[in-house]
Amino acid sequence: MSIGIGIVGCGMIANFHARAIADAKGAHLVGATSRRMEGTEKFAAEHGCTAFPTLEAMLADDSIGAVSICTPSGAHLDPAVAAAKAGKHVIVEKPLEITTERCDKIIDACDQAGVRLTVTFQSRFHESSRLMKKAVDEGRFGKITLGDAYVKWYRSQEYYDSGAWRGTWELDGGGALMNQAIHSVDLLLWLMGDVQQISAMTATMTHERIEVEDVAVATLKFKNGALGVIEATTTAYPGALKRIEISGNQGSAVLEEEDIKAWQFSEEHPDDAKVRAEMAGKTETGGGAADPSAIGHHGHTLLFEEAVSAINEGRPSILDGHEGRRSVEVICGIYESARTGKIVTL
């Protein structure tokens, strides 16, 4: 059954959601709403859907089965809860929310209403990410000793000045970590498992008129005993593709956006040479490293198809609220360690 979807918030990322919905099997875009009717009407005209004057009007439409939340990060809670109470399934752009407490309120609302919740971490659907996960699950790294994430991106001052919510604690929820690096944090946790301890430092080095960090470094101890590092910045001109490195006593692999840049194991498998040859040049965009709009929507398409499958099959999404909460918990732990100068135990 095709699910009708309404979008809340008509900013840049909503365009990627609309394109993904158009390409996704089992989904179709019904309408959109935002704070400004002028912006809603422009968005609706571009994507061939209905412009709803209010969220309430959109939620009252019976042809909408699910709602995609594309508002600023710290404004996900209210529309998500309203959608759940209206009996609509909920898809939320990353992060789920900006604190674990606010995440929990969304999760609880969806549970109480019996609706499915999906969080937008589309990088998990890339073929290269799935190959890394498969290698971890098959034990090919042996004893995993290190898991690292590096997000050395660039954002201009104009980027932060372009929206009053950008770079604020209230609506952005943080800086280079919460806004930009959270996809890499999610991938790292997916591959490495939960974090036990965090020690971190953050700074605001080159941007003006922002409350949040543009540089962050954290050391991690995972529950499996491995150690790791997260580095995130929006001050690294001209910006590089995000990078995940997994190392163990029987293998190492490096994921750079959608490219696998290293793939070496003590026991060579028949497909390893093919992985090295075919996965080295998969990235076709800038990956958002310097331009947040320089991304593709193919990962979003697969994410919407997963959300629709979860709805139709009556099962939790593989990217449900609990999965979406994990990266927020770690990032908030990094902020707490940086603020207090102490090791934080999760």
CATH superfamily, domain 3-121+297-318, is NAD(P)-binding Rossmann-like Domain (3.40.50.720)
CA 225 to chain CA mean position, Å: 25
282 or 277: which leads in pLDDT? 277
Name every residue whose Cβ is closer than 8 Å to that of residue 38 and which is 6 or more positions away in sequence: none
pLDDT above 80: residue 291: no
Query: Which helix or strand (DSSP H or E) is residue 303 part of?
Result: helix 298-313
Alpha-carbon gap, residue 197 to 20, rounded angstroms: 37
Q: What number is the average pLDDT over the span 193-198?
A: 98
For residue 22 the two structure tokens come to 């158009």
Q: Do domains 3-121+297-318 and 124-294+328-345 have the same CATH topology?
A: no
Backbone angles phi, psi at 247, to 5 degrees: -130, 140
Residue with tokens 């209403």: 113
- Give 198's strand partners: 220, 344
pLDDT of residue 302: 97
Q: What number is the average pLDDT over the span 173-188?
A: 98
Q: Where are the domains of the chain?
A: 3-121+297-318, 124-294+328-345
Which CATH architecture describes the domain 124-294+328-345?
A: 2-Layer Sandwich (3.30)
pLDDT of residue 281: 86
Span 50-91, pLDDT tens digits: 999 999 999 999 999 999 999 999 999 999 999 999 999 999
pLDDT above 90: residue 286: no
